[in-house]
Structure 1
């Protein structure tokens, strides 16, 4: 009923007096100035990249908690720094021993990506030695909620991820734990938490669910133990890589990582991409290196300098403005072929986190990244109008007490006005 009233109001405004553009602006302003938005913080910017005209600016220079809209900056960083295929590991052969170190590549035996390049490569060697010395980051990001440690969307960061740094427990058709190394660490009983906070003891109640994915605690010894179980062979831990020229093994196509990053809003991949970028830019793995580099170089002309503390947007410490989001989206649009770019972003009504919202009757007209935390919802991306014009937008909502669905309904009505009016 509310959506019907909104659509009626928009129709009356858009098909009233004045030019189509002015009527559309008035219609959008009427909704944003309504009592619904009074007790929350809202920012909305729309850019025409062809004319470089800002068509609408509502609190565009104000800072918002972006949630997973942060992944837009992470994607841009990856596109600017990483090769077409993921650097899977660095290695050096010395006599009969293969020394190797991680690059942060998230794809090795990932439960859903299932890339086996690294596995096949390491399995050929009978003497393996692993160095963890290049990882100079923390397992958890600044400002992450402490009680997220046991939930699938919050795996730890690491130099050499295995199985997405999570344990996948499945009840049917047969009880299975992946990686198998943790099978004896799973207790089949109901418990308040899925895992002990400081150790790898997991709880699984098959009467409540058939499948459960739980992050595990990572360190060099855990990596060593999992690899030894995988290869049925010992793996030595060494303090550092030996002297000599390191080679790089390349694995999965990066675009497959980017699609999962954006369509599934995969926090783990987001965090690891910045770590991989750090390894390309420096000799250590620390996501801050990548963030600082991109802000000081490719994004030195951002309208407002952000507070950017992680790759995923899990942290509420992140602060970005709608204008800065639009700036980065425009940079990507200018540099990446449209077909490739729009395949990476979820399509409204069709794919990823937008499969149930912002759908077009004939074809998708929105390609965008959503971002959700409790009481916050943001959406930034690209909008195709009925006349074929391409618009770039960022719509950020913070601290609302309405349901997310109510907020999305208002947003969708505004997007439909843009599609009709330009």
Structure 2
């Protein structure tokens, strides 16, 4: 009997230990809910949150997850997924045909074409090495130079480059000091538009561009030795061809011809390098142009509206809530998504990419790279959160993936809209909560 009692006691102890271990290892809703309930920061504005267990395929905790939020650059995840569905492993630079002594080419909107970091040169080399006369057939893009709902007041800010069919070098001019009091501009072709204006008197040295044209002006004060600014130029087919021709040292003639079925395609950068450049530093220019590339592949014309409509209808028709999606970058406040939609999208992205480590390598990584490099700390040198940020005035969001210390794989969407406190406080509270989830589970 004593032996039996000992065995029963041992079994009960093992059961108790296993229950305790199971409870401590389980993602429980209550502690997370308690954090949100007690947080003074997340309760003084419109907050939405959704946390999903990717291994158990179930939602862990939701707060206003069915409400619509201004996503800002979280929108780029929608652009990313659409590109995954529509594009191959390389970005098409343009389409072309050879006719007698002529090479005629049509644009795709390729953002990697001579881009500062991506340096897509295959298309450039084709034109450079051709002995034929060069003709550019324009008119594939008939949309506006700004996305739906973009603020015109930001026209001179680096993050709001204009949209067009044949982008070159980011569609952004770099104005900088040579260190000896002289102001220079890249591309050098634009130097003739840069001038001193004695009537322009900003509070500190600053170069600005006329909203209607490419007049760049600076004040009649000494040029700071380390001055540098990135300013979008006013796009036009004439200017883009002039810039390209100046680089090629060749003349390019504009024509208007229908695209034949016999066109060939020349490809520039690898797609994954373009996606990484879009996601990690949150490049608005690349995001907008990529939707045009998708449109060129699907419809043979360049239309942001058409590709968004197609993606929502064919790729995103099973989301919990129908998204209101209007641009590629999230600069527009007309974009509206719910946190639970973001969770569903993150699952779709994960399924499409298949390789988790590769997917993480494309995203901003906490403590390591991208827009959350300085927000999070690593855990023993390793990142545990990979997320796309999204920031506009009074809005700050994060959506992405998190791995806990116990190895649980999670997807999350944390959205904050309409706050008046400094964005730094919002970001720090988000990091505090996500770090707690990582360390606890």
Q: TM-score, normalised by structure 2?
A: 0.88
Q: Which residue of 2 aligns with 1:27?
A: 31
Distance 1:208 1:331 in 2: 49
Q: Which residue of 1 aligns with 2:229?
A: 212
Structure 1, unaligned runs of 5 or more: 1-17
Q: Say whether 1:372 aligns with 2:386.
A: no
Distance 1:62 1:244 in 2: 46
Superposition pairs for residues 107-126 of structure 1, below 5 Å?
107-125=112-130, 126=132
CA contact (8 A) 2:92 2:110 kept: yes
**TM-fit CA distance, 1:52:** 0.8
Q: Say whether 1:172 aligns with 2:187.
A: no
Highest Rg: 1 or 2? 2
Q: What are the superposed Cα offsets for residues 188-231 of structure 1, whole Å, 9 maximum, x if unpaired?
A: 45665610000011135632852211111112111222122222
**TM-fit CA distance, 1:234:** 1.9
Task: Say which SS state the counterpart of residue 289 (structure 2) adopts.
Answer: helix
Q: Which residue of 2 aligns with 1:222?
A: 239
Distance 1:31 1:378 in 2: 18
Distance 2:321 2:240 in 1: 41
CA gap of 1:210–1:295, structure 2 versus 1, over 3 A, is same
CA contact (8 A) 2:177 2:225 kept: no
Aligned length: 406
Q: Which residue of 2 aligns with 1:8?
A: none
CA contact (8 A) 2:91 2:267 kept: yes
Q: Which residue of 1 aligns with 2:54?
A: 49
Give the one of 84, 92, 99 matched to 2:104: 99
Distance 2:141 2:94 in 1: 13
Q: What are the superposed Cα offsets for residues 44-80 of structure 1, whole Å, 9 maximum, x if unpaired?
A: 1011112111001111110000010001111111111
Q: Which residue of 2 aligns with 1:10?
A: none
Q: What are the superposed Cα offsets for residues 362-399 of structure 1, whole Å, 9 maximum, x if unpaired?
A: 11000000100111100000000001111000000001
Superposition pairs for residues 146-225 of structure 1, below 5 Å?
146-172=152-178, 176-188=184-196, 194-204=208-218, 206-207=223-224, 209-225=226-242
Task: Say which SS state the counterpart of residue 59 (structure 2) adopts.
Answer: strand
Task: Say which SS state the counterpart of residue 36 (structure 1) adopts.
Answer: coil
Q: Say whether 1:411 aligns with 2:430.
A: yes
Distance 1:204 1:29 in 2: 53
Q: What are the superposed Cα offsets for residues 133-184 of structure 1, whole Å, 9 maximum, x if unpaired?
A: 2112211011111111111100011111011111112323685422222111
Distance 1:283 1:173 in 2: 47
Worse-matched range after superposition: 219-228 or 58-67 = 219-228
Give the one of 142, 147, 151 matched to 1:145: 151
Give the one of 271, 274, 291 matched to 1:257: 274
Distance 1:204 1:121 in 2: 38
CA contact (8 A) 1:167 1:178 kept: yes
Superposition pairs for residues 240-279 of structure 1, below 5 Å?
240-241=257-258, 243=260, 245-279=262-296
Structure 2, unaligned runs of 5 or more: 1-21
Distance 1:353 1:220 in 2: 33
Q: Which residue of 1 aligns with 2:418?
A: 399
Task: Say which SS state the counterpart of residue 370 (structure 1) adopts.
Answer: strand
Task: Say which SS state the counterpart of residue 31 (structure 2) adopts.
Answer: helix
Q: TM-score, normalised by structure 1?
A: 0.91
Distance 1:118 1:191 in 2: 43
CA RMSD of aligned residues (A): 2.0
CA gap of 1:191–1:278, structure 2 versus 1, over 3 A, is farther
**TM-fit CA distance, 1:256:** 1.1
CA gap of 1:111–1:311, structure 2 versus 1, over 3 A, is same
Q: Which residue of 2 aligns with 1:11?
A: none
Give the one of 302, 311, 324 matched to 1:285: 302
Distance 1:109 1:291 in 2: 26
**TM-fit CA distance, 1:236:** 1.0
Q: Which residue of 1 aligns with 2:11?
A: none
CA gap of 1:388–1:62, structure 2 versus 1, over 3 A, is same
Worse-matched range after superposition: 125-134 or 47-56 = 125-134
Q: What are the superposed Cα offsets for residues 281-304 of structure 1, whole Å, 9 maximum, x if unpaired?
A: 102101112111111112110010
CA gap of 1:55–1:208, structure 2 versus 1, over 3 A, is farther
Task: Say which SS state the counterpart of residue 302 (structure 2) adopts.
Answer: coil
CA contact (8 A) 1:31 1:410 kept: no
Worse-matched range after superposition: 115-124 or 87-96 = 115-124
Distance 2:225 2:78 in 1: 37
